[in-house]
Chains A and B, each alone.
Chain A
Amino acid sequence: MTYKPTLRWSDVTPQAMFLNRRQIMAGGAALLASPALGKSPYSTDDAPNTLEEISGYNNYYEFGLGKEDPAANAGMLQTKPWTVKVDGMVDKPGSYDLGDLISGMPIEERIYRFRCVEAWSMIIPWQGFQLSALLDKLGVQAGAKYVGFETLLRPEEMPGQKMGTLDWPYVEGLRLDEAMHPLTLIATGLYGQPLPNQNGAPIRLVVPWKYGFKNIKAIVRITLTDTQPPCTWNQIAPQEYGFYANVNPQVDHPRWSQASERRIGAGILAGRQDTLLFNGYGEQVASLYAGMDLAANY
């Protein structure tokens, strides 16, 4: 029996109305400008980077290797219609239209720290829903231990896929408890707008205590499994990129230090700041790794 939803992508509340409602909730003040109201307890108080910075400085090799390439090339990606295949150890497998898949998901804003494995960082105001809500809706079967994700493979719209830089399509994965953690987000937007293509439209993963490359973009497949799913960077250079990829200032990349980071947008003379264990989310997530050797499970 497959899940047959009746809602369409077009049934999603239009952005203007959605923003309007939030403005009413915030007493006429724009939500983004009023940190006191409607702010998630999971959000950071740090000032977000600008939309220009967030959408103009990306690692998204499907669109080129340079930081500016995704912004320049991602426009050609067609994100409508969008189908997500759900398979594996799940009660409601199937090929879902995106609107159907995410209907009913409680969209909220989460302002998260973002730490790239290249030792730079940003603050990003995402909109999205907890992956746990989606997994609950899909029905995770007993025995499932991991969630695997896959990015769209469409070389004609993703020119980087014509090069052999990585093994396409990009794949990533989480342990089930990581996936179910309330911090783990499926993002659909940022700054109150649909995700720009270069940021992973139409849906991407956000796991704020892990390095950026775990946050797989343009997801077309979600697989529940009992074996550790393959992860692209881990497969290419296992000695440099582990399955966990938790932000950890004590565990260096073999070629560079992870002790500190440069905050994008901080200015030429801002220098560096200390990188925090689990990117500062240790209070929430450290228990997931209790008893594990983080240097061995990097």
Chain B
Amino acid sequence: MLTRVNSALRYVPPWVVYVLGALPVLWIIYQILAGRIGIDPVRAIEWGLGLWALRLLIATLCVTPLRWIGLNLIRFRRQLGLLAFAYVCLHFAAWLTIDMGLRWGQILPDLVKRWYILVGMSALILLVPLAVTSNNASIRTLGPKAWNRLHKLAYPATILAVFHFMMVGKVYTGEVLTYAGILLALLTLRAARLALRSTARL
């Protein structure tokens, strides 16, 4: 079954991920234009972009565990990661412009004073080197080992993104806890695998 899926996926060009990944932002734009974005458009836009950033970050982290069970999506991981970064940037831009209204007098102190903003900002900064090196030339220049080590930053970045999401609200909603749970499950899988490997080596 999975072998069939894998061989079928071989015919899917990676740019298809970009096309699919553009759908959420197109949907948001459609809702704005159709006047269906809701009573608080600013919050809906900012929230929606952030949520998709988080979903894509988590999707990127799912690629490796899925490989363990035989589903090979590695050809699409770069696109997933770059899309995640694009949504992070859009989310940040929405915060700066439509939410904060470019009030630099409030934005700059907030950037260093507010924990949830600091945490979100750190996630963005960690993703910058990953986005910049998401190309074949960088893999060659850095060498696959160093490149792989660098791209482990996806883990702390996603952890920070989930913390950012948890810190924004007044209470932990089911939605927030769901994402936290998924991340925890992914990290546990990784840790379990590492532990298994090190015992196997003994």
Contact = CB atoms under 8 A, between A and B. Distances in A.
Interface of A: 52-53, 56-57, 61, 65-68, 117-118, 120, 165-166, 233, 255-257, 259-260, 262, 264-265, 267-272
A260 B103 contact: yes
Contact of A57 (B32, B40, B170, B171): B40
Contacts, number: 60
Contacts of A233: 170
Contact of B102 (A166, A264, A271): A271
Nearest to A49: B39
A264 B170 contact: no
A67 B110 contact: no
Contacts of A56: 39
A268 B39 contact: no
A272 B102 CA distance: 9
Given A262-B99, A272-B100, A67 B115 contact: no
Interface of B: 32, 38-43, 45, 98-103, 106, 109-110, 114-116, 167, 170-171, 173-174
Contacts of B99: 262, 272
B172 to A, nearest CB: 9
Contacts of B100: 271-272
A254 to B, nearest CB: 8
B106 A259 contact: yes
A52 B39 contact: yes
B114 A268 contact: no
Given A257-B114, A268-B32, A268-B98, A67 B106 contact: no
Given A257-B106, A267-B41, 4 more contacts: A53-B39, A65-B174, A68-B38, A265-B39
